Amino acid sequence: MELPEGFQCEFEGLADGLREAPSVSVRCNLRKRVGVPEGAARVPWCPSGFYLDARVPFTFDPALHQGLYYVQDASSMIYDYIVRLMASDGLPKSYLDACAAPGGKTTAAIDALPDGSVVVANEYVRARAEVLRENIVKWGYDRVYVSCGDTRAFRKLKEEFDIVAADVPCSGEGMFRKDPEAVAQWTPALVAECALRQREIVDNLWPALRSGGCMIYSTCTFNRAENEDIVRYIMDEYGAEPVELPVPDEWNILRREGCMHFLPGRVRGEGLTVAVLRKPGECPVRGEKPEKKRQEKMLPAIASCRKYLGRPDEYAWAVEDDTVLAIPDRRMYARLAKVLDLRLKGIEVATIKGRDVIPAQSLAMSCALADDAFPSYEVDYGTAVSYLRREAVTLVDAPQGYVLLTYRKRPLGFVKNLGRRANNLYPQSWRILSTHTPDMPPEVLR
């Protein structure tokens, strides 16, 4: 690989590391109780992450679509480690991932946060926000909002979040060996442009961070202008205090001026730079009084859907645009809805269509789904792939009505069984487009 003209290798051995072949790694979904396969090479800083010997056709693995694992570069899995340290008191947190698509760092944070934490995942680009929403839904955590919009909106959410993550748009030097386009588009002018945008994003997000809370700032680039200089700006402008995390020497993460650098050639992963900064002051005690139990507007659709969740009383229930919603944290939702374009509001339980209340894919993927909510029907690999292509499937000796298909005893999605045929309810926009089916399923989780 030829490095772009003007690129400066500030770190010894980096140029050689960028010419090495990239690694392949995945992270298991702890909230769906998936463990690392026995004998797998583990990612040192993430207990649920492990390396693969080679890339496999992930698209054709039902486990990926079931949200049982996420394909993620090992360096980015450091978010699991950082968030666990930030939330080590075990109390629920409010967490914002402001530049979240496609969702890898958000889902890593979800697994590291204590139960009851509420997560907001935002993405500026509309198409990327839809990908983010899909990946969040598949991961199955019930207390997530997905929004689409400029980070300026978060200026209005004063001291809302205990932790704010900003994996900001950058010049992409850390992706050189995986993405030829990153090499082609790199220029010194791009670095300067990105640094200005990064300061603007930090300025937008800082008011939303609680006093005593932490900001996780990261880029997939190496240069000082987008990393150490931005960290210094946050410290000088806002009085932020750098947080020195305990990092074992054997991880080979390079530290410099408040930043942790993951450098190809030193770590088994792509280029990443991360810094953690604490906002001055004491974290205030939440001033909200306990919410009085209020009478839900018990529409018939809501009444029929409550039994689908294991703990229905933990949510506020509503019907919006013919969608039945189980909304986490009513008061926080009210604040968010005033300023954000929300694309996901907790669990989309069902869609109302005439007299039918059709269970949603979000419900099938949710960890909150009650075990006995629907009759289930186990399918083989070929049928699972056909279902994920949104093709017609035939069920033998299955009850009529809505049926939850499972693959290897885990939820795959819903069909409406009519007897002679079953209507496939998998989301049209999520379907596998390829007509190829491997002879054997990819065995990522073995």
> pLDDT of 221-237, one tens digit each?
999 999 999 999 999 99
Tell me the pairing of strands 41-42 and 49-52: antiparallel
Q: Is the pLDDT of residue 8 over 80?
A: no
Number of H helices, E strands in the chain: 12, 22
Domain that holds residue 129: 14-23+73-278
Same domain membership, residue 265 and residue 181: yes
Q: Is the pLDDT of residue 390 over 80?
A: yes
Same domain membership, residue 263 and residue 355: no
Same domain membership, residue 347 and residue 274: no
What whole-number distance in Å separates Cα of residue 49 and Cα of residue 383? 29
What whole-number distance in Å separates Cα of residue 271 and Cα of residue 81? 17
Stretch among 129-133, 174-178, 366-370, 419-423 having the lowest mean pLDDT: 174-178
Tell me the pairing of strands 209-219 and 161-167: parallel
Among 278, 312, 331, the domain boundary falls at 278
Per-residue confidence at 109, pLDDT binned at 50, 70, 90? Answer: very high
Residue 8 lies in a domain: no
Q: Is the pLDDT of residue 285 over 70?
A: no
Which position among 170, 220, 259, 305 bears the catalytic label? 220
Per-residue confidence at 355, pLDDT binned at 50, 70, 90? Answer: confident
Percent of the chain with pLDDT over 90: 82
Q: What pLDDT, on the 0 to 100 scale, is given for residue 13?
A: 75
Same domain membership, residue 204 and residue 134: yes
Same domain membership, residue 304 and residue 268: no
Total domains, the chain: 2
> b vs e for 369-383, b when ≥16 Cβ sit within 10 Å of the residue's Cβ?
beeebbebbebebeb
Q: Is the pLDDT of residue 372 over 60?
A: yes
Q: What is the largest CA-CA distance in the chain?
A: 69
Residue 68 lies in a domain: no
Angle, helices 104-112/78-86, rounded to nearest 10 degrees = 40
Per-residue confidence at 289, pLDDT binned at 50, 70, 90? Answer: low
Q: What pLDDT, on the 0 to 100 scale, is given for residue 284?
A: 64
Q: Return the structure tokens found at 39.
A: 């004998």
Q: What distance, in Å, lies between the first and last C-alpha atoms of the chain?
A: 34
Q: What pLDDT, on the 0 to 100 scale, is given for residue 323?
A: 96
Same domain membership, residue 257 and residue 333: no
Interval 24-59: pLDDT, tens = 999 999 999 999 999 999 999 999 999 999 999 999
- Transcribe 254-321 into DSSP letters: EEETTEEEE-BTTBSS--EEEEEEEPSSPPPPP-PPPPPP------HHHHHHGGGBSSGGGSEEEEET
Interval 110-120: pLDDT, tens = 999 999 999 99
Stretch among 18-27, 177-186, 415-424 having the lowest mean pLDDT: 177-186
**When comparing pLDDT for 101 and 180, which is higher?**
101
Catalytic-residue membership of 220: yes
The β-bridge partners of 343 are none
**DSSP character at residue 224:** S
- Transcribe 91-123 into DSSP letters: ---EEEESS-TT-HHHHHHHHHSPTT-EEEEEE
Residue 124 lies in a domain: yes
Half-sphere exposure of 139 (CA within 13 A, CB side): 32
What whole-number distance in Å separates Cα of residue 327 and Cα of residue 346? 5
| Binding-site residues for S-adenosyl-L-methionine | 99-105, 123, 150, 167
Cα angle 265-18-246, degrees, rounded to a multiple of 5: 40
Q: What is the CATH number of the domain that holds 141?
A: 3.40.50.150
Average pLDDT over residues 16-23: 81
Interval 128-145: pLDDT, tens = 999 999 999 999 999 999
Give the mean pLDDT of the chain.
93
Query: What is the pTM for the complete model shown?
Result: 0.93
Q: Is the pLDDT of residue 12 over 90?
A: no
Same domain membership, residue 250 and residue 153: yes
The β-bridge partners of 405 are 377, 413
